[in-house]
Protein backbone atom coordinates (compact mmCIF):
# COMPACT_ATOMS: atom_id res chain seq x y z
CA UNK A 1 0.00 0.00 0.00
CA UNK A 2 1.46 3.32 -1.07
CA UNK A 3 1.94 5.86 1.70
CA UNK A 4 2.93 9.51 1.52
CA UNK A 5 4.12 11.56 4.48
CA UNK A 6 4.71 15.30 4.55
CA UNK A 7 7.43 16.77 6.75
CA UNK A 8 8.67 20.26 7.42
CA UNK A 9 8.27 23.23 9.75
CA UNK A 10 4.85 24.04 11.09
CA UNK A 11 5.69 27.72 11.49
CA UNK A 12 7.28 30.03 8.93
CA UNK A 13 7.98 33.75 9.30
CA UNK A 14 6.62 36.24 6.76
CA UNK A 15 8.91 36.76 3.75
CA UNK A 16 10.75 33.49 4.45
CA UNK A 17 10.87 30.39 2.27
CA UNK A 18 8.80 27.30 3.07
CA UNK A 19 10.45 23.92 2.51
CA UNK A 20 8.40 20.73 2.68
CA UNK A 21 9.30 17.15 1.81
CA UNK A 22 7.01 14.26 0.94
CA UNK A 23 8.44 10.81 1.62
CA UNK A 24 6.90 7.97 -0.35
CA UNK A 25 6.84 4.38 0.91
CA UNK A 26 5.33 1.22 -0.52
CA UNK A 27 6.04 2.35 -4.09
CA UNK A 28 8.53 4.24 -6.22
CA UNK A 29 8.50 7.87 -7.34
CA UNK A 30 10.39 6.64 -10.41
CA UNK A 31 7.36 4.83 -11.78
CA UNK A 32 6.13 6.26 -15.06
CA UNK A 33 2.47 7.09 -15.57
CA UNK A 34 2.24 9.21 -12.44
CA UNK A 35 3.23 12.63 -11.22
CA UNK A 36 3.80 13.86 -7.69
CA UNK A 37 1.82 16.84 -6.49
CA UNK A 38 1.47 19.49 -3.82
CA UNK A 39 -2.00 20.79 -2.95
CA UNK A 40 -2.95 23.18 -0.17
CA UNK A 41 -6.07 24.05 1.79
CA UNK A 42 -6.35 27.25 3.87
CA UNK A 43 -8.24 26.74 7.13
CA UNK A 44 -11.96 26.41 6.42
CA UNK A 45 -11.49 26.85 2.67
CA UNK A 46 -11.20 24.75 -0.47
CA UNK A 47 -8.40 22.91 -2.22
CA UNK A 48 -5.77 24.62 -4.39
CA UNK A 49 -3.33 22.79 -6.65
CA UNK A 50 0.22 24.09 -6.33
CA UNK A 51 2.10 21.98 -8.85
CA UNK A 52 3.67 18.65 -9.72
CA UNK A 53 6.90 16.91 -10.61
CA UNK A 54 7.60 13.81 -12.68
CA UNK A 55 10.11 10.99 -12.26
CA UNK A 56 12.26 12.57 -14.99
CA UNK A 57 12.35 15.91 -13.16
CA UNK A 58 9.84 17.77 -15.29
CA UNK A 59 7.44 20.11 -13.51
CA UNK A 60 4.04 21.76 -13.87
CA UNK A 61 2.99 24.71 -11.75
CA UNK A 62 -0.24 26.56 -11.04
CA UNK A 63 0.00 29.86 -12.93
CA UNK A 64 -0.93 31.87 -9.82
CA UNK A 65 2.00 30.44 -7.82
CA UNK A 66 4.55 29.70 -10.52
CA UNK A 67 6.81 32.65 -9.73
CA UNK A 68 7.20 31.58 -6.09
CA UNK A 69 7.31 27.78 -6.25
CA UNK A 70 9.91 25.11 -6.99
CA UNK A 71 9.03 21.41 -6.87
CA UNK A 72 11.80 18.84 -7.18
CA UNK A 73 12.16 15.07 -7.01
CA UNK A 74 14.82 12.90 -5.33
CA UNK A 75 14.51 9.43 -6.76
CA UNK A 76 17.37 8.04 -4.70
CA UNK A 77 15.52 8.80 -1.46
CA UNK A 78 12.02 8.29 -2.90
CA UNK A 79 11.00 11.83 -1.99
CA UNK A 80 9.80 15.02 -3.61
CA UNK A 81 9.90 18.52 -2.23
CA UNK A 82 8.22 21.90 -2.32
CA UNK A 83 9.88 25.27 -1.89
CA UNK A 84 7.72 28.39 -1.75
CA UNK A 85 9.31 31.79 -1.23
CA UNK A 86 8.03 35.14 0.00
CA UNK A 87 5.54 33.54 2.38
CA UNK A 88 2.69 35.66 3.74
CA UNK A 89 -0.21 35.03 6.09
CA UNK A 90 -2.33 34.17 3.04
CA UNK A 91 -0.14 31.08 2.57
CA UNK A 92 -1.24 29.63 5.92
CA UNK A 93 -2.76 26.31 5.01
CA UNK A 94 -2.67 22.54 5.30
CA UNK A 95 -0.25 21.33 2.64
CA UNK A 96 -0.92 17.90 1.13
CA UNK A 97 1.30 15.82 -1.11
CA UNK A 98 -0.44 13.43 -3.50
CA UNK A 99 0.18 11.04 -6.36
CA UNK A 100 -1.71 11.64 -9.60
CA UNK A 101 -2.29 9.07 -12.31
CA UNK A 102 -1.55 10.72 -15.65
CA UNK A 103 -2.05 7.96 -18.18
CA UNK A 104 -4.67 8.82 -20.78
CA UNK A 105 -7.56 9.12 -20.59
CA UNK A 106 -7.79 9.16 -16.80
CA UNK A 107 -6.04 11.67 -14.59
CA UNK A 108 -6.79 11.64 -10.88
CA UNK A 109 -5.24 11.82 -7.43
CA UNK A 110 -5.24 8.30 -6.02
CA UNK A 111 -3.04 8.59 -2.93
CA UNK A 112 -2.68 11.50 -0.52
CA UNK A 113 -0.55 12.29 2.50
CA UNK A 114 -2.29 13.21 5.73
CA UNK A 115 -1.37 16.87 5.31
CA UNK A 116 0.72 19.23 7.40
CA UNK A 117 -0.40 22.59 8.75
CA UNK A 118 1.91 25.48 7.92
CA UNK A 119 1.29 28.74 9.73
CA UNK A 120 2.90 31.96 8.56
CA UNK A 121 3.43 34.28 11.49
CA UNK A 122 6.17 36.33 13.08
Partner 1 sequence: QSVLTQPPSASGTPGQGVTISCSGGGSNIGINTVNWYQQLPGTAPKLIIFANNQRPSGVPDRFSGSKSGTSVSLAISGLQSEDEADYYCATWDASLNDLVFGGGTKLTVL
Q: Which residues of this protein are in contact with partner 1, per CB under 8 A?
A: 46-49, 62-64, 96, 98, 105-110, 112-115
User: Nearer to partner 1 by C-beta: 47 or 89?
Assistant: 47
| Residue 83 zone, left/alpha/beta (φ > 0; ψ -120 to 50; rest) | beta
Nearest to partner 1 of 10, 46 (CB atom): 46
Which residues, at least 6 apart from 62, have a Cβ–Cβ distance to it below 8 Å?
48, 49, 50, 51, 69
DSSP-derived pairing of the beta strands 116-120 and 11-12: parallel
For partner 1, which is the closer residue by CB, 16 or 60? 60
Shortest separation between residue 82's beta carbon and partner 1, angstroms = 15
Amino acid sequence: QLQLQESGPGLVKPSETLSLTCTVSGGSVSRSGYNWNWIRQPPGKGLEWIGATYYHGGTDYAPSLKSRVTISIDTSNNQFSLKMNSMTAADTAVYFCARRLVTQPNHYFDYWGQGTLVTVSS
